[in-house]
Amino acid sequence: MNDKLSISQAIKAEALRLGFYVCGITSAHPVGKRESGMLRQWLDKEYHAGLKYMEGHIEKRCDPCLLVEDAKSIICVALNYYPAKKLSKDQLQFAYYAYGKDYHEVMKCKLKSLYDYINNELLPINGRVFCDTAPVLERYWAQQAGLGWIGKHTQLIIPEAGSYFFLGELVVDAELTYDTPVVARCGSCTQCLNACPAQALRDPYVLDCNRCLSYLTIENKGEINAERRKALGNRIYGCDECQKACPWNRFAQPCDNPELQPSEEFMDMRPEDWKNLSVEEYQKLFKGSAVKRAKYDGLIRNIKAVDNK
Ligand code: SF4
Ligand code: SF4
């Protein structure tokens, strides 16, 4: 196989076979002035809160050609994580993406398989695999590659499928056939901004991490102040309210990936169980899970904050 179109089609077919919901391809180029300007403004306003790593590697973040030598193409994929079973309203809440195994591991394994398939079956390539692990503007590239558009809540929305997706990329040195960027379809809707319990969406497309419950319960290393505690409700790890409010998520279909399914122990946890959670139980419950990011002390801080509104 040696023509760009056939190779690109074969890559997409393999991506779907591996379980990705969609795959698209765009050329590797520096991001537009608008995107780099928005990123710099966001950093200047310190809306990244304690995410200090966001301040570094701005040039690389704005130009994937600085991440991979002779980069020509970005292959973007999305993996559905919308859960089939959900915690009930009287249980303490976790963001849907955290129900199953750590997505970094699941995504990396599938991306590596896709990379090896291209290299072994289609054409020799050099490149790198990314999934929320390097300075890459993932949602921007997904939009460029025709997967969907960035909604006012700052998540990628896939038409007729919603926003409960993990994103990943292969940046490679081969020229391929490119997809058309998707035009934003939020229109005059503001349901995500209205639904945010913490007013963290300062403006359409502008997230203030200092207020966002997802940041405060996962990445934040400090205490959660009284004002933010009020907004927490019964969420102890992450928040999905802006996504739940989005009308495009009425199209979300439950994922069937066994690695992303929650354990029975997790689904059975009652508020009293969380309050009495020991380190050993935490280790067992979240072995191989992204929840480890908040560490035991972080999760206990959140449980106490919910209890102490
Ligand atoms: S994740 Fe929650 S707190 Fe953060 S912007 Fe969305 S609704 Fe607001
Ligand atoms: S809720 Fe409305 S404005 Fe927000 S992302 Fe969805 S469609 Fe866009």
263 lines ligand 2 (CB under 6 A): no
Bridge partners, residue 79, by sequence: 166
Q: What is the pLDDT of residue 105?
A: 94
Q: What is the pLDDT of residue 280?
A: 96
Which among 87, 52, 132, 96 has a CA at the least distance from the CA of 238? Answer: 96
The whole-chain average pLDDT of the chain stands at 95
**Residue 101 phi, psi dihedral angles, 5° rounding:** -70, 160
Q: Please say if the pLDDT value at position 33 is more than 80.
A: yes
Q: Which residues are catalytic?
A: 132
Mean pLDDT of 71-80: 98
Tokens of residue 303, six digits:
């449980």
Distance CA 77, CA 112 (A): 12
Q: Please say if the pLDDT value at position 86 is more than 90.
A: yes
Bridge partners, residue 159, by sequence: none
What ligand 1 atom has the least distance to the C-alpha of 154? 5
**Which residue is closest in CA terms to ligand 1's atom 6?**
242
198 lines ligand 1 (CB under 6 A): yes
213 lines ligand 2 (CB under 6 A): no
* Whole-number Cα distances in Å, 244 to 49, 141, 196, 198: 24, 24, 10, 15
Q: Please say if the pLDDT value at position 307 is more than 90.
A: no
**What is the bridge-based pairing of β-strands 127-130 and 165-172?**
antiparallel
Distance CA 114, CA 118 (A): 6
Task: Report how far ligand 1's centroid is from the alpha carbon of 115 (Å).
Answer: 34
What ligand 1 atom has the least distance to the C-alpha of 201? 5
Q: Which pTM does this prediction carry?
A: 0.96
Q: What is the pLDDT of residue 1?
A: 62
Q: Which amino acid is at 191?
A: Q
Task: Report how far ligand 2's centroid is from the alpha carbon of 61 (Å).
Answer: 25
What ligand is nearest to the CA atom of residue 150? Answer: 2
Task: Report how far ligand 1's centroid is from the alpha carbon of 2 (Å).
Answer: 46
pLDDT per residue as tens digits for the range 119-173: 999 999 999 999 988 889 999 999 999 999 999 999 999 999 999 999 999 999 9
Convert 201-221 to b/e letters by CB count within 10 Å (16 or more is b).
bbeeebbbbbbbbbbbbbbbe
**Which residue is closest in CA terms to ligand 2's atom 8?**
186
What ligand 2 atom has the least distance to the C-alpha of 151? 5
**Which residue is closest in CA terms to ligand 2's atom 5?**
151
Distance CA 195, CA 243 (A): 9
Q: Please say if the pLDDT value at position 308 is more than 80.
A: no
239 lines ligand 1 (CB under 6 A): yes
Q: What is the pLDDT of residue 309?
A: 65
Q: If DSSP codes are grouped into helix, strand and coil, which group holds residue 26?
A: strand
* Whole-number Cα distances in Å, 234 to 51, 91, 133, 201, 206: 24, 8, 29, 20, 25
